[in-house]
Each structure stands twice: as C-alpha cells, then as structure tokens.
Amino acid sequence: MYFKSATALQVLDQFGNLRQLDGLTVVTASRASGSGTLQGTLTNTADFGIVSYTDSRTMSSARSRFCSTSPALTSVTSDPIVVGPGIANRLGVHTQPGSATAGAPFGVQPVIKSRDQFD
C-alpha cells in the first residue's frame, strides 16, 4: 500500500531553524514499530533542507511508527500511522467446506474473504 501523501522531513540546526542551504545531509527511513517491510526509496538527500519520500509503501495493514536517521543528527520517530487495506479486487476461500452429507448442512462451513491486490 502506498501512503497517500509524500512524507517530508526538515533538517534543522541546533536552534530549530531550517537549514535552507543543506543539500548534503543523507537521511534513511526505517520501520520503528509495526509489522511488514517498509519499501521504496528509503535513503534520500536533503534538498534545500527538506528530505522527501514520495514512493514509501508497505505490504502490511497495520499501525506503525517510522524512524528517520542520519549520522551526527538526532533521529526522529513519527506518530503512529494507520495503514489500511487496498480496495478489494477478488474473493478468496479462507476455510474450505467439509464434512458434507447429502441433504445436510456442511459440517465445516466455508468462509470467503475479500482480498486486495496484496492479498
């Protein structure tokens, strides 16, 4: 699932001011909590003091926190982000029917679940 909006971080100096001329700081994003793998371009370089992530995604529906780190700078961890499932595009059999006798209900009822493109 792609995040619906790009994530941007500001590189600040020790006084909390944006380092507007910074084009050298390299920042790496990672998952701080939650499940699944964070994918996309996870290491980016500041551009006028702003580090942008435009293709971050995860294949897991979960509540997660993300961490951004850079050598010699204080790391930052996001507030919890809730990633929801994609739009359902197919059905899948979760539990197969079983223990059938002619004229009687299945002993094991089938369970069908909707699935998104990531299953």
Give the confidence band of 4 by pLDDT, cuts at 50, 70, 90: very low
Is residue 47 in some structural domain? yes
**Which candidate, 56, 64, 112, 114, places its Cα nearest to that of 85?**
114
Is residue 2 in some structural domain? no
The mean per-residue pLDDT over the stretch 30-47 comes to 85
Query: 98 and 54, same structural domain?
Result: no
Q: What is the pLDDT of residue 2?
A: 40
**pLDDT above 70 (res 6):** no
The reported pTM is 0.63
Number of residues assigned to the chain: 119
49: domain range? 7-83
Burial class for 58, CB neighbours closer than 10 Å (0-12, 13-18, 19+): buried
Q: Give the DSSP per-residue string, 23-58.
A: ---EEEEEEEESSS-EES--EEE-BTTEEEESS-EE
**pLDDT above 80 (res 60):** no
Query: 67 and 22, same structural domain?
Result: yes
